[in-house]
Amino acid sequence: MSLKIWIDGKLVDKADAKISVYDHGLLYGDGVFEGIRVYNGKIFECEAHIRRLYDSAKAVRLKIPLSAGELKTAMEQTVKANGFTECYIRVVVTRGVGSLGIDPNKCANPSVFIIADLIQMHAKEMYEKGIAVITSSIIRTHPNALSPRIKSLNYLNNILARIEANDAGVADAIMLNEEGNVSEATVQNVFIVRAGQVQTPTTHDGILEGVTRGVMMQICRKLGIECVEKTLQRLDLYIADEMFLTGTGGEVIPVTKIDGRSIGSGEVGPITRRLKDAFHQRTRE
């Protein structure tokens, strides 16, 4: 069965889901997007994702031509049309078709498309054994250049860091900000555990405020595990007892090695396991 893609109000076959070569999302990365999970037929943290999408669009002066309610309905239609109860949704809003040249005023109407498909970021055994990462030489985008809090279509900064991870033969890379402090992985937020306390970089450290990151912080509070937002340096990762990454696609993935150094005992730690299990339970509720 061919996948159905929602594009500008219509569900079409994947092979027929096309955008113009003059769309500024393609020409200049001028647009925003969200990645969202569906568990048991329900869109996970739907309101949080929609709010972040509209915030990103507002930040880049892009008006989404749908209300939040209409967008949610369109996502539900796309999932239903493809018969999924477990899947990944990608919602993309571009500036739309325009002329050559970056002026957004030359684009008449924004374009919206929605994909519902399967995704697997890491092999299953990695969730039990953990992954290895490196520290990237690519610095996270400065907030006064393009704020990392905007989930835009321009991911070259992250992609270059991911190429370094590929070259090193590891699963991901940790990016530092302009001050040399820990920001995030290429598409996931960073958490460490130190003396029983869970720590994660702040919004001032060059991170995208991940929806899964927010859920994880809620889970910590619910379980009575202290969780704090604080600026972390590379050294903090080296001396951490445990480390894990969170994101919509990767969910909760343990990290057991960084820059060739074992984290803690070199195995997935007890707090990481507890939080990972609690997150999976949350997605089933």
Residue 151 known to be catalytic: yes
pLDDT at residue 204 is higher than 90: yes
Nearest to 272 by CA among 216, 201, 202, 215: 216
Residue type, 65: P
**How far is the C-alpha of 225 from the C-alpha of 240, rounded, in Å?**
16
Return mean pLDDT, the chain: 96
pLDDT confidence band for 156 (50 / 70 / 90) = very high
Nearest to 285 by CA among 72, 86, 38, 39: 39
Cβ-contact 171, 165 below 8 angstroms: yes
pLDDT confidence band for 2 (50 / 70 / 90) = confident
- Pair of tokens at residue 139: 């610095």
pLDDT per residue over 89-98, tens digit each?
999 999 999 9
**How far is the C-alpha of 264 from the C-alpha of 269, rounded, in Å?**
8
Cβ-contact 141, 206 below 8 angstroms: yes
pTM of the model: 0.95
Which residues 6+ apart lie within 8 Å of 203 measured at CB?
A: 149, 209, 229
Which residues 6+ apart lie within 8 Å of 202 measured at CB?
A: 229, 230, 231
- Pair of tokens at residue 32: 């925003």
pLDDT at residue 200 is higher than 90: yes
Question: Using the 8-state DSSP alphabet, how is residue 49 labeled?
Answer: H
Cβ-contact 182, 189 below 8 angstroms: no
What CATH number should be reported for the domain whose range is 126-284? 3.20.10.10
Nearest to 52 by CA among 208, 281, 235: 208
Question: What is the predicted pLDDT for the residue at 253?
Answer: 97
Distances (CA, A) of 15 to 5, 11, 12: 9, 12, 8
Q: What residue spans define the domains of the chain?
A: 4-117, 126-284
> DSSP string covering 23-60, please?
BHHHHH--EEEEEEEEETTEETTHHHHHHHHHHHHHHT
Query: Three-state SS for 50?
Result: helix
**How far is the C-alpha of 226 from the C-alpha of 270, rounded, in Å?**
15
pLDDT at residue 178 is higher than 90: yes
Which one is predicted more confidently, 120 or 224?
224
pLDDT at residue 284 is higher than 90: no
pLDDT at residue 241 is higher than 90: yes
The residue with tokens 């940790």 is: 174
**How far is the C-alpha of 233 from the C-alpha of 192, rounded, in Å?**
11
**CATH ID of 4-117, from 3.30.470.10, 1.50.10.10, 3.50.50.60, 3.40.190.10:** 3.30.470.10
Strands 251-258 and 131-135, sheet pairing: parallel
Which candidate in 18, 151, 257, 276 is catalytic? 151
